[in-house]
Amino acid sequence: MMPASLIFAAALVAWGPVAPDAAPVTAPAPEVPVAATAAAPPALTAPPVAKMTIDRSAAPELLAAPSPPPPQPRTPTYKRWQFWVIAGGALATAVGVTIAVTRPGPQPYTGNVPPYLISVH
Amino acid sequence: MLEGDLRIPTETDGMLVSMNAGPAAPTGGLGLNTSSVISGLAFPLSFGFTSEGTSPSFSITVQFVHGLTQGVVPTIVVSRTITDIRFVDQKTMMLVVPFLHACACMGTSCPQPGDPNCDSIQTPVLRPFDPALAPPSTMMNQPFAGI
């Protein structure tokens, strides 16, 4: 007869090693359907993932991947030089057109003797 | 602009201007007819024309007369007709026309044609307005209602 402590120790060995705390998040363990039996205890064989070890040196970039830089704030339109170039050009054009359209023509010559100025229709 | 060697007011004291729109010479009946007393003035004399856009040219007859201020029928001293004076768009042009004593009529006889200083002028060549040559404007009134 084996002592009960030896039997318990053998059961623990058969159960397998305890899964490490830092379980890989990128490889979730596949769900293993377990047949629901009323009297059967959980299977003594551990899921395959529980036995996998993580090799941190294999892909260090996955563990220490730099986070993407935060997006730079968008420059307001009125702070861009292109805006002021276009606005200034439009303003100068408007002023020039206004002056050209509204500028009075040359004053007619009226001379120094009547009839001074004759309008020819 | 009218230049001349006539003595004012002993030889001439008035000016008659007839104007007709278009290339035809004024007939005296239609068109604009004005008379002006020029006593106290001196050559050169000048007046202007402005286009209302209808007629591209106009014609005038200018007569310097004597007796306009004496209450009698004035007599023509020198008369010249310039026809088909062309407007130039957006420009002020000038025409200098001499009125010489040599062209004066003696009674009812006037000089025979052939003297370019006395003859009528048709479609004259205008030159750009020269403010240094033309007398300064002395009145900025409304233009005469032409035809």
- Chain B neighbors of A106, CB-CB under 8 A: 92
Please state, for a pLDDT cut of 90, what percent of chain B lies above it. 67
pLDDT attached to residue B82:
96
Q: How many Å apart are CA A79 and CA A87, to the nearest integer? A: 12
- Asked whether the ipTM of the predicted complex exceeds the cut of 0.90, the reply is no
pLDDT tens readout for residues B2-32 = 999 999 999 999 999 999 999 999 987 777 8
pLDDT attached to residue B47:
94
Q: How many Å apart are CA A20 and CA A63, to the nearest integer? A: 16
pLDDT, averaged across chain B: 89
Q: How many Å apart are CA A107 and CA B54, to the nearest integer? A: 19
Mean pLDDT is lowest, of A18-32, B52-66, B99-113, for A18-32
Q: Is the pLDDT of residue B52 over 80?
A: yes
Per-residue pLDDT, averaged over B113-123, amounts to: 91
Residue B119: count other Cβ atoms within 10 Å of its Cβ: 14
pLDDT attached to residue A47:
61
A-B C-beta contacts closer than 8 Å: 107
- The band of B113, judged by pLDDT with boundaries at 50, 70 and 90, is confident
Token pair belonging to B14: 């008035």
- Chain A neighbors of B87, CB-CB under 8 A: 120
Q: Is the pLDDT of residue B105 over 90?
A: no
Partner residue opposite A117 with nearest CB, options B41, B90, B144: B144
Smallest CA–CA distance from A108 into chain B, residue: B50
Say whether A110 and B36 touch across the interface (CB within 8 A). no
Regions of chain A short of the pLDDT cut 50: 1-2, 22-25, 27, 35-36
Q: How many Å apart are CA A118 and CA B40, to the nearest integer? A: 22
Top-confidence residue, B110 or A70: A70
pLDDT attached to residue A87:
96
pTM of the model: 0.61
Per-residue pLDDT, averaged over B114-126, amounts to: 93
Angstroms from B11 CA to nearest CA on chain A: 18
Smallest CA–CA distance from B131 into chain A, residue: A109
Q: How many Å apart are CA A85 and CA A69, to the nearest integer? A: 32
- DSSP for chain A, please give it: ---HHHHHHHHHHHH-PPPPSS--SSSPPPP------SSPPPPSSPPGGGG----TTT-HHHHSPPPPPPPPPPPPGGGSHHHHHHHHHHHHHHHHHHHHHH---PPPP--SSTT-EEEE-
Say whether A121 and B21 touch across the interface (CB within 8 A). yes
